[in-house]
Amino acid sequence: MQKIALVLFVAAELCYYLLIAQTGIVEYFSSDLFTIIYLPIGGVIGSLLSSYIKTSNQNKIFGFLLIQLAMSFFYPNLSSLMLFILGISVGALAPLLINELKKGSSIQLGFALAIAYVLGTFLFNFDVALRGNIAIALTVLAIVSLFFIKENKSINISNSNFALASMLLWIFLDSSLFETLSRDENISIWRDGYTYEIAFFHLLGIVLAFKLQLQKNLKELFIIILFALCYFFYFLNEALILSIVYPIVISYYNVVILQTLIHKNIKTLSIYMVFIGWFASGAGLFIALEHLILFVPIIFIIFLIITINQNFIPNKEKKYA
């Protein structure tokens, strides 16, 4: 029962972040930064606060879930104070959620991501103003699941060790494209009838992340090539191909990130989530709102130059040493 409970808990919270915190609130308030800024401010505070409260992780999660549930009853009519409070709960739960994954295995992580991505994809087109019941249901599911998760820790997930800079880059590239796509009237893969394709290739991306055995440098190169293809097909307005490639890279790099973060302690996780969960994604939102997506390819060129210098030039020096 614990294995199922952990899967449902993680899946519910990931769906909540996608459907409520990331897309629901932003879209409902028409991407008005001056209005929604209270959410990420609260998120940063919550992420840092989660590691300093002196009680068990179970108690902290339960407390923040209750706050999340209370705010969900008022969704979408949230005041600035409510957005701030919701941000604190969502921000605090992010590192705590990853910390809970230490009790699971790669299979549980895979199933949790699969449920979250598939459910999130099918509910994406649901009117953001009517997602209040979804917010309540997801939070209740997370609370109920929490009671079946025991305190023991047993990390059975393969260890990855990717630099924070790489993870920030992936989140930024994803957020920039996602926020741009969701506002583009000419090409919106979620609203253009590609729901089943997106769901299927999310699942394929998860499978590839666990089954495709690549070295660290090749994984980084694989991810950046997939992102380059996503932007390439976006600029070409190729919605069908984009609905295939984009879900794969989202699922793939998120597995890689979680495999890295799951081995960090709670204080490190809190700091990482400030940069990954709020700064990088916030920068992507800014790119979309300011219509600066055309400048993003420059980042690919810089990254490729750095990658080549790090992975090929040292090898040549060793050869002639």
Residue whose structure tokens are 């609370």:
143
Beta bridge partners, 105, equal 156
Whether 182 shows a pLDDT value over 90: the answer reads no
Instruction: Give DSSP secondary structure letters for 146-174.
Output: HTT--S----BSPP----HHHHHHHHHHH
Greater confidence, 20 or 303? 20
In this predicted structure, the answer to whether residue 152 has a pLDDT above a threshold of 80 is no
8-state DSSP, 42: H
Distances (CA, A) of 160 to 27, 231, 277: 35, 26, 19
Q: Is the per-residue pLDDT at 23 higher than 80? A: yes
Strand ranges in 18-175 using DSSP code E only, listed in sequence order: none
Tell me the pLDDT of the chain averaged across its residues: 88
Mean pLDDT of 148-153: 75
pLDDT value at 62 more than 90: yes
Asked whether 183 and 23 are in contact (CB, 8 A), the reply is: no
Least Cα distance to 12 among 142, 144, 130, 120 occurs for: 142
Q: What is the pLDDT of residue 320?
A: 42
**pLDDT confidence band for 312 (50 / 70 / 90):** low
- Report whether the peptide linkage leading into residue 247 is cis, meaning its omega lies within 30 degrees of zero: no
- Worst-scoring range by mean pLDDT, 121-135, 180-194, 230-244, 297-311? 297-311
Task: Please write down the HEC assignment for all residues of 221-270.
Answer: HHHHHHHHHHHHHHHCCCHHHHHHHHHHHHHHHHHHHHHHHCCCCHHHHH
The total of other beta-carbon atoms located within 10 Å of residue 291's CB is 10
